[in-house]
Structure 1
Amino acid sequence: MIAPKHVKRKAQIAKILAKHGFGFIVEKVGLGRFVPFHWGILGHPKREHRYSAPEHLRMAFEELGPTFIKLGQILSTRPDLIPTEYIEEFAKLQDRIPPCPTEKIVKVVEEELGAPLKELFAEFEREPLASASIGQVHRARLKDGTRVVVKVQKPGVELQIRQDLEILEELVKRLSAHWEAAEHIDLEGLFEEFSYVLRNELDYEREGRNAETFRKNFLKDDYVHIPRVFWEYSTSKVLTLEELEGSKFTDVQSIRKLGYDPKEVARKGADMYMNMFFRDGFFHGGPHPGNFFLLRDGRIGLVDFGMVGVLDDVMRINLVQLLYGITKNDMSLVMDALYDLGIRGDPKRESMLRKEFEVLFSYYFLKPLGEIKLSRVVNEIFRLTYRYRITLPSDLFLLLKTIGMAEGLLMNLDPEFRMISVIKPYVSRSRRVFASPRFIARQAERNALLLSKMLIQSPEKLKKFTSMLEAGKLEFSVKYEGEKRLVSDLRKDINRLTLSILTLAFILSMALVVSSYKPEFFRVEFFLILVGFVALIFFGGLMFKVFREGT
């Protein structure tokens, strides 16, 4: 049960959804031209042209606060779940977050670090460098002169997000219990992923640890620089990092003024991501233009380590197989890798899905390798998964999204750049690593440990199994996929039988009443007509249901 303290928030959510949801429904049913929300009624901002249904939903998310803003931001990256027009609209949530007053931010910093701001920093800029749904970033300078950036969680955000997640959890459970489509899209699983991501983003210490992992992974690579974390000025709500000064990857002219070739920078950026995927199995999941810089000394600098992906050995092998299959025009390798990665649909439509993928990759196989855009391939995969209602595993989705976005980011530097052109040597190297005696021996040692554990536990588990079997305590659970239809058919049959019994009971009871009392004012002919008319209505309704629903 949701605690009474959430009632106020639930009422607030209902009010905002009613305000914008009404506009959303009106637009969906095609009546938007008759209700001028753009004139400012119900508090909508005034403008000349009408609001679309995605705009109504986006405005509702903005007004509902950080939890729903984050939900919209995450949905804007999931073309496997929602239509394109909603993705485009929700993407506007990325840069429409108003900053929190500096006085409140300073209070959070002082409470978290346990000292007045003047004792902590020699300088702290009051104007934020950036503002997001959960926190905002301010430039500062330490007492020793080091330039830093301080990421601060907005006050009250954590409490509101936790309340909203409890409310959303209750809603998801109700939808899953009463809405059949919720089972097909795994609504509860999607909510758990969203909740996991959001709770992690509330923990800035985790982001700091991610930064240190990247710093360790690229310690021997002189072309990448990961900012240092100042742990003495960091907590779960405050993160202080070394400030990086340079040109964003989107500012090609500025990169040229620094004396560097944008094409060479694009190649270095690709090498950086290839090492993340194939060497480290730990990658930056947010390749947005604002997160990548070219520093004055020519190194690539990264920021924002809240979203990261992890690839285990099996997933890396499947990724290598997929990309190797694309480079070698081998459809069997490609399809096998896609299925093992988790792209599987309804078994009834599996053959059609396979044909769709075969047509898609056959088109790319006809192109020269240097002309294949992986970002386009990824978008086509997302299009097919949306069409066939396939919900991608979160780790696979993040991987594919990152590959596509990384290529798009690097194409800002070099329009002719193609990620596939730099992948081949890394795929070849990874194939050799995965086939090496050292790797095989490591996997064999690991599997031997698991096997020995299974052998040790097997006698005890077998004894327990036979004991439960002998005692009659062993229970089996069988899931029948047609259960809902069976229950529905049974309910219809019971309703028909009930209606038939009621019709017969009505006729018999009226006949008994007339035969027992025989009132003088009551004519038998009138009774027969009345009963016949009522019975005809009942019978007609029953037959209509039978013919409409089938036997």
Structure 2
Amino acid sequence: MVSPVKAAVKDIKRLREISGVLTRHGFSAVARRMGLGRLLGEPEAADEFERDGADPEAETLDGDEIFGKDRRQAAERFRKVLEELGPTFVKLGQVLSTRPDILPPEFILELKHLQDRVPTLSFEQIKAQVETGLGGNMEDFYAEFREKPLAAASIGQAHLATLCDGRDVIVKVQRPGIRAKIRSDLDILYYLARLLEATIEEVELYTPTAIVREFERAILDELDFLKEAQNIEEFGRNFAEVEKIEVPEVFHDFTSAEILTMEFIDADRLSELEGGSERAIEVLDTLLSSLVKMVLYDGFFHGDPHPGNILVREDNTVVFIDFGLVGRLSESQQDAIIDLVLTVLTGDIDGISRTLLAMGKPMGRVNLREFKADIRTIRDKYLAMNLGDIEVGELVQEIMGAAQTHRIRINTNYAVLSKAAMTIEGIMRELEPDLDIMAKGMPYAKQLAARRFSARKIMQGVVNSSMGFSGFVQQIPQQMDQIMMDLESGNLTITIKNDSIDEIGTFLNTLGTRVFLGIIAAGLAVSAAQLLRGFEYQVFGTPVTVIGGFLLAAIALGLFWWALTWHIVGGSARTKLRVSPFVRLFRRK
């Protein structure tokens, strides 16, 4: 077990590496605001990419200072940062690519190109990991195991093998030591997230620690191949009665947390299909219907359906693989998605606004008038376009961007779904270049409307509301009794929150403190003058009273400039120092 001292030294070295990589790729503004250089005892480095005149002393960190004027170039540099920092950060980038509510579109597009730049493991390492993971000799489990990997990624490698009964399988082998490395990097990420929250107030909406917590949950799930096996089987059960959809079988006797053995399915890659062909259009219809079923009926969907994770058999059966990232939606969340789709199709501004508010969590007071105005602008932009030319993914991104602008934090499940849906839309447009996505999706929209407003659904809503209202009415007497008891005992207090009143309190507190310091300084000066009045001692020919007077004058002058600086910086900029995030910096998870 690594000692705390060694772990701390290792963490500092890693932080220094991260700071250097950020600076090297033109993100020293972020490193500077976080204070990484000062924290690590390094001199502040100039950013070779800061050509746009960003002010290092600026009180706020706006988008241009973080990303620069050319966001596409900044997105490419950000991708290179993640690739250079290794597997954990590559996976973080892949998770962030599912969050259009956090990153600009240019970054979402660039992060799709993240590559796991990792060397392949030797066959000896693979064999040792298989025997450790399965608890026996490799020959006892596999009649044949191909040494050359089919694919290599940051988490593991995939090899083709044959079971003793002759069935061909794919064996996914986890990289030795990757779990410990990722846990160590997670500690660093938590530290950086807390440092961001403590030093850069503008990131409050993005909640870095919540993002790292979400990433931690996702990557630890991906490190447990038993959970991926469960995801594959659940998906298989959901589509057991559906034609043209298939998933590989999992062999549990040859599967553990580090080893996953699945059926080998001989099929073509989706990218090999000729766009516009009869076969491609049939596959397109299958993909669209499978997405609707996953999201709006099962509430369990493939979170990363890129072309590499979709295969096509000769009979056009679609095969989904790699279930490390999945998403889940509750029934209420499914209803919210249906509401959003229907309100977007009908151009209902009020409906879109209400649905977005229900789907997210406002981080402050939302100006509904301005929010609806932004939604109307987006609607009018797409209303002027031909239905066949509308990019649904782009439309969804703009709507989510409006929610982000008005400080509405969208639930992460919707963000993962948004990314998956945009990926599927991109695949569909490649399969049918002249695709009219609205015309293709209209029959499904009618089904969704019929489902959302079916008699059973309406009756269920009426029953639920009636039960809720009944419970509310029954609780009124008890709640009133409690209120009366609190009034009689004096325990009832009413808190009125008003920003103007809060500012008055802060101003009076600051003013009182300054007046108090001024009185203390004046009192010290008068007391010293009285005490020194009777002394006639001299130092190097100068009376002590003169020396004391000069010292007191210097102290008073220092206090004056300090108070003036406090007034300018603290009063004008109202910089807020939050103590709790700094305390959390030193608390390891």
Where on the TM-score scale, by shorter chain, does this alignment land: which range? Answer: 0.7 to 0.9
What do you get for the CA RMSD once the two structures are aligned?
4.0
Q: For the residues of structure 2 that align with 1:340 and 1:332, how far apart are their CA atoms?
A: 12
- Is 1:108 aligned to 2:124, yes or no? no
Give the match for residue 303 of structure 2: 285
In structure 1, give the amino acid aligned to 2:534. S
Task: Please show how residues 98-247 of structure 1 align to structure 2 within 5 Å.
Answer: 98-173=119-194, 175-176=196-197, 179-247=200-268
Q: Which is worse superposed, 95-104 or 318-327?
A: 95-104
SS at match of 1:11: helix
SS at match of 2:261: strand
Give the match for residue 47 of structure 1: none
Q: For the residues of structure 2 that align with 1:318 and 1:196, how far apart are their CA atoms?
A: 25
**Gap change, CA 1:222 and 1:483, over 3 Å in 2:** farther
Give the match for residue 15 of structure 1: 16
**Gap change, CA 1:11 and 1:56, over 3 Å in 2:** farther
CA contact (8 A) 1:249 1:413 kept: no
Give the match for residue 311 of structure 1: 329
Q: For the residues of structure 2 that align with 1:282 and 1:397, how far apart are their CA atoms?
A: 14
Aligned equivalent of 1:380, options 386, 393, 398: 398
SS at match of 2:295: helix
SS at match of 2:172: strand
Q: For the residues of structure 1 that align with 2:532 and 2:321, how far apart are their CA atoms?
A: 89
Aligned equivalent of 1:264, options 273, 282, 305: 282
SS at match of 2:158: strand
In structure 1, give the amino acid aligned to 2:204. E
Runs (4 or more) in structure 1 with deviation over 6 Å come to: 444-488
Q: CA deviation at 1:515?
A: 0.8
**Gap change, CA 1:215 and 1:4, over 3 Å in 2:** same
Give the match for residue 387 of structure 2: 369
Give the match for residue 45 of structure 1: none
**Gap change, CA 1:141 and 1:339, over 3 Å in 2:** same
Q: CA deviation at 1:87?
A: 4.3
Aligned equivalent of 2:103, options 77, 82, 106: 82
CA contact (8 A) 2:149 2:159 kept: yes
Listed one character per residue, the Cα deviations across residues 222-258 of structure 1 (whole Å, up to 9, x for unaligned) are 11112111122112221111222222222234996xx
CA contact (8 A) 1:318 1:340 kept: yes
- Is 1:331 aligned to 2:349, yes or no? yes
Listed one character per residue, the Cα deviations across residues 142-191 of structure 1 (whole Å, up to 9, x for unaligned) are 22222221112111112222333344335544554565345332233222
**Gap change, CA 1:484 and 1:478, over 3 Å in 2:** closer
Give the match for residue 48 of structure 1: none
CA contact (8 A) 1:247 1:294 kept: yes
Q: Which is worse superposed, 269-278 or 530-539?
A: 530-539
Q: CA deviation at 1:359?
A: 0.6
SS at match of 2:114: helix
CA contact (8 A) 1:245 1:296 kept: no
CA contact (8 A) 1:247 1:255 kept: no
Q: CA deviation at 1:478?
A: 9.1
CA contact (8 A) 2:99 2:412 kept: no
Task: Please show how residues 463-542 of structure 1 align to structure 2 within 5 Å.
Answer: 492-493=510-511, 496-497=514-515, 499-519=517-537, 521-522=541-542, 530=550, 534=554, 535=556, 538-539=559-560, 542=563
Q: Which is worse superposed, 410-419 or 495-504?
A: 495-504
Q: CA deviation at 1:321?
A: 1.8
Q: For the residues of structure 2 that align with 1:320 and 1:26, how far apart are their CA atoms?
A: 40
Q: Which is worse superposed, 535-544 or 417-426?
A: 535-544
- Is 1:340 aligned to 2:358, yes or no? yes
Task: Please show how residues 395-414 of structure 1 align to structure 2 within 5 Å.
Answer: 395-414=413-432
Consecutive unaligned residues of structure 1, counting only runs of 5 or more, are: 35-51
Q: For the residues of structure 2 that align with 1:387 and 1:444, how far apart are their CA atoms?
A: 35
In structure 1, give the amino acid aligned to 2:170. V
- Is 1:360 aligned to 2:378, yes or no? yes
In structure 2, give the amino acid aligned to 1:107. A
Q: Which is worse superposed, 59-68 or 232-241?
A: 59-68
**Gap change, CA 1:279 and 1:139, over 3 Å in 2:** same
Listed one character per residue, the Cα deviations across residues 373-393 of structure 1 (whole Å, up to 9, x for unaligned) are 212212323443454554321
CA contact (8 A) 1:205 1:239 kept: yes
Q: Which is worse superposed, 520-529 or 268-277?
A: 520-529
Q: For the residues of structure 1 that align with 2:494 and 2:182, how far apart are their CA atoms?
A: 40
Q: For the residues of structure 2 that align with 1:404 and 1:167, how far apart are their CA atoms?
A: 31
In structure 2, give the amino acid aligned to 1:424. M
CA contact (8 A) 1:266 1:417 kept: no
**Gap change, CA 1:373 and 1:88, over 3 Å in 2:** closer
Q: For the residues of structure 2 that align with 1:384 and 1:264, how far apart are their CA atoms?
A: 36
Q: Which is worse superposed, 484-493 or 347-356?
A: 484-493
Q: Which is worse superposed, 149-158 or 186-195?
A: 186-195
Listed one character per residue, the Cα deviations across residues 451-504 of structure 1 (whole Å, up to 9, x for unaligned) are 899999999999999999988889999988899978975774465235413431
Q: For the residues of structure 2 that align with 1:528 and 1:142, how far apart are their CA atoms?
A: 93
CA contact (8 A) 1:97 1:133 kept: yes
Between the two proteins, what is the percent identity of the paired residues?
28
In structure 2, give the amino acid aligned to 1:302. F
Q: For the residues of structure 1 that align with 2:78 and 2:392, how far apart are their CA atoms?
A: 31
Report 1 or 2 for greater relative contact order, CA contacts < 8 Å, sequence distance ≥ 6.
2
- Is 1:430 aligned to 2:431, yes or no? no
Q: CA deviation at 1:132?
A: 2.2
In structure 2, give the amino acid aligned to 1:241. M
Q: For the residues of structure 2 that align with 1:403 and 1:492, how far apart are their CA atoms?
A: 53
Q: For the residues of structure 1 that align with 2:172 and 2:505, how far apart are their CA atoms?
A: 54
Consecutive unaligned residues of structure 2, counting only runs of 5 or more, are: 30-44, 51-72, 575-589
In structure 1, give the amino acid aligned to 2:48. G
Q: CA deviation at 1:528?
A: 9.6
Q: For the residues of structure 1 that align with 2:177 and 2:337, how far apart are their CA atoms?
A: 41
CA contact (8 A) 1:248 1:292 kept: yes
Q: CA deviation at 1:62?
A: 3.6
Q: For the residues of structure 2 that align with 1:91 and 1:453, how far apart are their CA atoms?
A: 49
Give the match for residue 42 of structure 1: none
Q: CA deviation at 1:302?
A: 0.7
CA contact (8 A) 2:249 2:262 kept: yes
Q: For the residues of structure 2 that align with 1:13 and 1:490, how far apart are their CA atoms?
A: 45
**Gap change, CA 1:118 and 1:318, over 3 Å in 2:** same
SS at match of 2:165: coil
**Gap change, CA 1:333 and 1:228, over 3 Å in 2:** same
SS at match of 1:71: helix
Give the match for residue 54 of structure 2: none
Q: CA deviation at 1:295?
A: 0.9
